[in-house]
Copies of this chain bind each other. A is one copy, B any other.
Amino acid sequence: MTNVAILGYGVVGSGVSEVIRRNRENIRIKAGDEISVKYILDIRDFPDSPDRDLIVFDPDVIFNDPEVSIVVETIGGTGAAYEFTMRALKSRKHVVTSNKELVAAYGPELLQTARENGVNYLFEASVGGGIPIIRPLNQCLAANEISSITGILNGTTNYILTQMKKKGEDYTNALREAQKNGYAEANPAADIDGFDACRKIAILSSIAYNEFVDYRGIYTEGIKNITIEDMVYADEMGAVIKLVALSRRENDRIFARVSPVVLPKSSPLANVEDEFNAIVVKGDAVGDAMFYGRGAGKLPTASAVVADIIDIVRHPGDIGRNNWVRNGNNNLVDIDDTETRMFVRMKAKDPSRAKEMAQNAFGGVEFVRTGKINDENEIAFTTENMKEGRFKRILSDVRNSEAISDITSVLRIFEEK
């Protein structure tokens, strides 16, 4: 019998307890041992919960009990979660978490502490909810040199963008509906500004490239400025607009970015709709492999947490799978030094002069027209591939031109490399 303690009886924590209870027999077969929840730490009590008798308020009960070999941290954030995780590891208890903030911020320290104490720190549930992605990267694709990871890693923003596209709703209404349906939180900043996806791509990159990628160095842009008109243009170009997190190995450095992109419909990520997530991994042997499913939610996330628990029960001695060393941000390529094609929309005072000016300034632009937007002063075009730094300098010149009254949208165009 393996005894587990859960820290934090919120959505994920209660889901973990539910999955362990519901699928006890199947889990016993897969783990080779029975798994049981002995304690749940919370500051609230839950008189109506089936787990009410397991609730404890004193963390020492857990850390001092030698029968508890695995601790599940589902508190979230980097405060108590950090402190309790450290204490659990130093008490030589394995820790499993769904807490992407903590892994992205303190992964190197926590992994080192785990190694020093002969235990594991596993976090499959921190990325992609129930979608198996971290174990596949670490194990199933272990024979590959991974060259890139591209993902729709945030369900909230994907749900909002899908609603906008399908129903023609503007961003504000789509966000409100997402909040009403439980796909967005009351304070949705972490999702819509791209911070959540940023932490996730940092974690995946650290695993794929065998070196710690600090999320604080990753260029991150959210979806607040996306409009229905942008989507109409994207459709005209045979594309959709998605919030895409990507990272690529470029020589001995890493390029990572989170931003909305114009994504060709031929991309397997273009069909990922609603709250679903998907991750495409490119390896030198496997080619493209894609993993798709629900990126959040109580039971999907709990499913991933319990998979980590089962892994530890089967392989208690397999520690030190990840060895992240903090090295500053200097393994990341500066966004200005990365290349992309851009999509630009602007309002012109003098459309024909504005077009000529854009053509001259950027060189080789392609104009995009759509019959669905009837505004003589609207100009839209795509540039050729160029360094972002150069693009910005040219754009700032263009912005000052008298032929232009406003630059409405600037969006990166996603291209396979």
Q: Which stretch in A281-289, A341-349, A381-389, A408-416 binds the other chain? A: A281-289
Are B130 and A289 in touch, CB under 8 angstroms? yes
**A360 at the A/B interface (Cβ < 8 Å)?**
no
Which residues of chain B are near A314, meaning CB under 8 Å? 315, 318
List 9 extra interface pairs beyond A141-B303, A286-B300, CB under 8 A: A26-B145, A30-B138, A144-B303, A278-B290, A283-B303, A285-B302, A286-B293, A286-B299, A287-B300
Q: Closest B-chain residue to A143, C-beta based?
A: B306
Q: Is A304 an interface residue (CB 8 A)?
A: yes
- Write out the residue numbers on chain B whose beta carbons fall within 8 Å of the beta carbon of A271: 268, 271
Residue numbers in B under 8 Å from A303 (CB-CB): 141, 143-144, 283, 285-286
A300-B287, A302-B285 as given contacts; A141 in contact with B307, CB under 8 Å: yes
Contact of A143 among B19, B144, B297 (CB under 8 A): B19
Query: Digit string of A1-25 for contact with B (CB within 8 Å is 1, else 0)?
Result: 0000000000000010001101100
CA distance A20 to B26 in the complex (A): 35
Chain B residues positioned under 8 Å from A307 (CB to CB): 139-143
- A29 on the interface (CB 8 Å rule)? yes
Q: Are A23 and B299 in contact (CB under 8 A)?
A: no
Residues of B within 8 A of A141 (CB): 132, 303, 307
| Number of chain A interface residues as a range | 35 or more
Q: How far is the CA of A32 from the CA of B315 in the complex (A)?
A: 14
B293 touches A289 (CB 8 A): yes
> At the interface, yes or no: A182 with Cβ under 8 Å from chain B?
no
Judged by a CB distance under 8 angstroms, whether A310 is at the interface is yes
Q: B284 contacts A23, CB within 8 Å?
A: yes
Does A293 contact B287, Cβ atoms closer than 8 Å?
yes
Q: Is the CB of A142 within 8 A of B293?
A: no
Proximity string of chain A (217-252) to chain B, C-beta cutoff 8 Å, 1 when within and 0 when not: 000000000000000000000000000000000000
